[in-house]
Structure 1
């Protein structure tokens, strides 16, 4: 006893309209085809569901008993299919993204706003956290994807390169470094460096010491967040290094940012997701948008043009 979906739809349409003509029009089939489906259903169940006359139809007692059950089955199925279609066509969905605190207050709001303009029916929920927590939140399933700097490979986490940016130095207006149009890492020696705690600084210092063995650059103060470092720089307590996407905060503090050369050290950022887990169409769409957005922007720090009579120190 296996009624087909077409048979159930035919019975529900007939019960709702009370007419073979109207039910056939609703289902876009001929009356003969509709009548055939009803007969097939009755034969499958082994019982009459509809009493027919020349003017009208009426459900039998068992037909009236089965109608609410079959109707709910069809409605639930149609609702599920519509929900799937809305997700697939990006008319519905939620994307949960974890990102470091600095990126969450500079780069991500602009990206999310741009994405929402293109897909207004998709909700993007941003989880700002410490950089060391990004992959953990992805692994736990708290978020669909995470964005963060390169980290040691983790089991069950897939990583795809999103962008690579050069390091830049940030200092107050009027600082001695402002007189130089091109800054090298060795130019930072002798100035108090405010750096971040954790792997970010550890990897940076390792890169610096590997490339600049004859230059000693040690942090004078280590803080947890770049927002703190920038505030300290604005207060005249030292300089710091960061990546170009921090420019909105640099401008907010009225600080200067210059790209660092010799060597041009960079940092790669990745999109992290759980390995072997399918993402929703909305999450896949947001990842694709992330890559397009980053490719469309130039993240090199502009080199200031010398003012008249200005010479490089």
Structure 2
């Protein structure tokens, strides 16, 4: 089956999907409202599926419309970039690069990368998608982003991975805890302690569980949370102690808590990942190299 979809129809749908209004979409693409409606009807006819539910008050994407809208921005961005390069309008120096990153990395690594990209390559727009680890991997596999920044994934046969940073785990506890006066803490010393840990949406939780099991540490996990800050507040209230990656520590430290290295040192590996059989664009490769460089500077510091 040959689908004769035009670029104009796709751009009209993109505008409607973002504006959720035919009049505003028409203003954006320079068409009248009837012309916008006609383009959408033609697109739906070519695809054989309904993309929008339209009422007098709102425009709602159907499941098929959501699926198309999710991938369309990237596809049109790539097409625009390709056409610009072919016509010599911007070469490979101008464009948008989408990077997905898990929350701890989004907060503690990516801001420096975005700032450095803006300083060094102002013609590149680095767009960050802040998502839980599994959603980052799904976005990479679906081609929604150019690449991802993640904690080492458990399964990566279909991904090209490059480790850029090792991040050790440490112990976080209240000042009065029995282990707080030690310069470092060995994993077996956690046996029997109540824990507040990141939940399984975090790429780190699997590694923490493995480390506890490897050292035969048996603990009650009293709370599982989605963000390190929540865990820190619970530790302050005496609910338990916490094992956290060092990168989760805020830049100004934790004045109300005590942080100690855990021995033997166990680290999570921070990686850049893209689909194995699809090399990133030249622009994405430049951002990839920049993130690797910023991570390297962090290690040296």
Sort the TM-score into its range (normalised by shorter chain): 0.5 to 0.7
* Match status 1:227 vs 2:229: yes
Distance 1:102 1:250, change over 3 A: farther
Distance 1:97 1:234, change over 3 A: farther
Distance 1:259 1:79, change over 3 A: closer
TM-score of the aligned structures, taking structure 2 as reference length = 0.64
Distance in 2 between residues matched to 1:148 and 1:171, nearest whole Å: 26
Structural RMSD (CA)? 2.6
Distance in 1 between residues matched to 2:116 and 2:85, nearest whole Å: 30
Q: After superposition, give the CA deviation of every residue in 1:85-111 in whole Å (9 maximum; x if it has no partner).
A: 2x2xx3x12111111112212221122
Partner residue in 2 for 1:104 = 106
Q: Where do residues 1-313 of structure 1 align in structure 2 (5 Å cutoff)?
A: 80-85=86-91, 87=92, 90=93, 92-198=94-200, 200-210=204-214, 212-213=215-216, 215-248=217-250, 251=253, 254-261=256-263, 263-298=264-299
In our comparison, the structure showing a higher alpha carbon Rg is 1
Distance in 1 between residues matched to 2:189 and 2:212, nearest whole Å: 13
Could you tell me whether the CA contact under 8 Å between 1:134 and 1:148 is conserved in 2? yes
Could you tell me whether the CA contact under 8 Å between 1:166 and 1:266 is conserved in 2? yes
Partner residue in 2 for 1:11 = none
Distance 1:121 1:187, change over 3 A: same
- Aligned residue for 1:126, secondary structure, equals strand
Distance in 1 between residues matched to 2:299 and 2:163, nearest whole Å: 16
Structure 1: unaligned runs, 5 residues or longer: 1-76, 301-313
Could you tell me whether the CA contact under 8 Å between 2:204 and 2:268 is conserved in 1? no
Kindly state the Cα deviation for residue 265 of structure 1 after the two structures are TM-superposed: 1.2
TM-score of the aligned structures, taking structure 1 as reference length = 0.62
- Aligned residue for 2:269, secondary structure, equals strand
Q: After superposition, give the CA deviation of every residue in 1:45-71 in whole Å (9 maximum; x if it has no partner).
A: xxxxxxxxxxxxxxxxxxxxxxxxxxx
Range with bigger deviation, 136-145 or 288-297: 288-297
